[in-house]
Amino acid sequence: MPHTKRRRLVTTVVAVSLGATALAACGSSDDSKADSGPVSLTYWAWAPGMDKVVDLWNKGEGKKEQITVTVKKQASGDTLVTKILTAHKAKNGPDLVQAEYQALPTLVSNDAVADISKTVGDAKSKFADGVWQQVTLGTDAVYAVPQDIGPMMFYYRADLFKKYGLTVPTTWDEFASTARALKKKAPGLDLTTFSANDSGLFAGLAQQAGAKWWTTSGDKWKVAIDDAATQKVAKFWGGLVKEGAIDNQPMYTPAWNKALDTGKQIAWVSAVWAPGTLTTAAPDTKGKWAMAPLPQWSANEDVTGSWGGSSTAVTTDSRHQEAAAKFAAWLNTDGDALNALAKESGIYPASSSAQLSGAFSNPPEYFSNQADFYTQAAKIARTTAPSAWGPNVNVAYTAFNDAFGTAAKNKSDFVTALNTMQDATVADMKKQGFEVSQ
């Protein structure tokens, strides 16, 4: 790939004030001709039941617009990103893709997704600012429509907090004190664990603290994974692990499931989708958990991070970008579509209005004891901090898993692990041909 193209995302960010970018122009000259008459679109997605949701479009709005959409089920994560980029090189990508937010800079920098701001720009009012920012990458362009989000929150065993006389922490200092107090009262128990096998958790915690891992400066990328905000997060969790105030074992293992189900661990820093995980991991504790906002770094703050979530993007390979953008907007803003996404795909919608309607009028069955679960979740979602993703998130995440996995296991310095993550990310970007300043 030419060096100039590898800098596509930086060029887009810098040139935004100068007018339309090459991304926005790609394929646009044929749009009016290509979109006359019946249009057939292909949508690559991994969310379960997406075909049933799309059927609503095909039988309703799509029929009226003469736009038919066919879903092709895909794997998620890096596997899908690789497949999209491979298809784009061969100029035979789908019309639409379900793209995780952190994958968008990679897709944009490879000129694989289009700027659809002219078609979906008015959808901005449907989403919290921090959510909408994830699909604009801080520019005037719009590279996707937000679909689902993962605002972070604090889950705890209400019964065991009461038993041990613990107060739900509202700050991270209180969180640390709670962990230590539990250890004194019940040495065999842990408040929670620090897990290094899902980098999205750490990224969300850093985001809440104000981290900006990737930004642009002039025509260069600035990588600051080891910035002051993230160092604060690393020192905090590393300190708790080193002193033994919390566990250091990974999540999603049989041992972790057992710890949650038996009350050996009595809290979990997670996201809005946690009830689904707890239903499987800790089935015997249904109705014993409660949810609260994420602890804050300062008592006067009210901000959360984001762990997970995806969007619907239109590819530059599509000959029907305007039609595809209409479908993307419908899928993620129409009330019937959002209710179907909740029912069939189990998503928590990015659309603010949908977070208190339809499937979210009642709490999750696992949290039937907390009637205001989704009311609280919607309030928390509105406080989502802006993100700052870059073109090689996958490399940063792999470096996190390796470096922090070792540090957690050995109870060694987390800041050193953070520096390793920073160095690996910068080295990879330079290897790919990006200009990087630190």
Query: Once rounded to an integer, what is the mean pLDDT over residues 397-412?
Result: 97
Q: What is the pLDDT of residue 76?
A: 85
Query: Once rounded to an integer, what is the mean pLDDT over residues 80-87?
Result: 93
Q: What is the pLDDT of residue 171?
A: 98
Residue 99 to residue 104: CA distance in whole angstroms: 7
The closest alpha carbon to 436, from 217, 151, 193, belongs to 217
Q: Binning pLDDT at 50, 70 and 90, where does residue 271 land?
A: very high
CB distance 86 to 314 below 8 Å: no
- Is the per-residue pLDDT at 26 higher than 80? no
Q: Binning pLDDT at 50, 70 and 90, where does residue 189 land?
A: very high
Q: Binning pLDDT at 50, 70 and 90, where does residue 261 land?
A: very high
pLDDT digits (tens, 9 = 90+) for 6-24: 444 554 443 332 222 333 3
Residue 407, helix vs strand vs coil? helix
To the nearest whole number, what is the mean pLDDT of the chain? Answer: 90
Strands (E), 132-176: 145-157
- Whole-prediction pTM value? 0.90
Q: What is the pLDDT of residue 18?
A: 28
- Is the per-residue pLDDT at 179 higher than 90? yes
Name the amino acid, one letter, at 349.
Answer: P
Q: Binning pLDDT at 50, 70 and 90, where does residue 320 land?
A: very high
- Is the per-residue pLDDT at 4 higher than 90? no
Query: Once rounded to an integer, what is the mean pLDDT over residues 149-160?
Result: 98
CB distance 315 to 143 below 8 Å: no
The closest alpha carbon to 326, from 62, 27, 21, belongs to 62
Neighbours of 335 (CB within 10 A): 12
Q: What is the pLDDT of residue 9?
A: 54
Helix axis angle, 254-262 to 274-281, nearest 10°: 90
Q: What is the pLDDT of residue 217?
A: 80
Q: Binning pLDDT at 50, 70 and 90, where does residue 357 land?
A: confident
322 DSSP β-pair partners? none
Neighbours of 415 (CB within 10 A): 15
With the C-alpha atoms ordered 410, 414, 419, 420, is the resulting torsion angle positive or negative? positive
Lowest mean pLDDT among 70-79, 157-166, 326-335, 418-427: 70-79
Ramachandran region of residue 127, left (φ > 0), alpha (ψ -120 to 50) or beta? beta
Higher pLDDT, 3 or 106: 106
The answer for residues whose C-beta is within 8 angstroms of residue 332's C-beta and 6 or more apart is 123, 126, 145, 146, 147, 311, 312, 338, 349, 350, 351
- Is the per-residue pLDDT at 400 higher than 90? yes
- Is the per-residue pLDDT at 3 higher than 80? no
